[in-house]
Amino acid sequence: MKATVHVMLKTGVLDPQGEAVHHALRNLGFKTVNSVRQGKVIELDLLDETDETDVNDMCEKLLANTVIESYKIDFS
């Protein structure tokens, strides 16, 4: 089983990397981009008996800083 974890900064948290990408895109002539938020994607290859609670615990304990980040888990 595979799980994909999408981690993003929470709304209202400053995103300097996103701002830098936004600025670079504007300098390259992409004027239609209003803003950029940058995050990370973590792919996990799991044993079939792994349940959603285990993956949620992984996120809460290590994969996301839940003070400033939110996460979403997709299973496939």
Helix (H) or strand (E) run with residue 76 in it:
none
Range of the domain at 23: 2-75
Structural domains in the chain (count): 1
Domain at 27, CATH number:
3.30.1280.10
Which pLDDT score is estimated for 46? 97
pLDDT digits (tens, 9 = 90+) for 21-66: 999 999 999 999 999 999 999 999 999 999 999 999 999 999 999 9
R_g of the chain computed on alpha carbons: 16
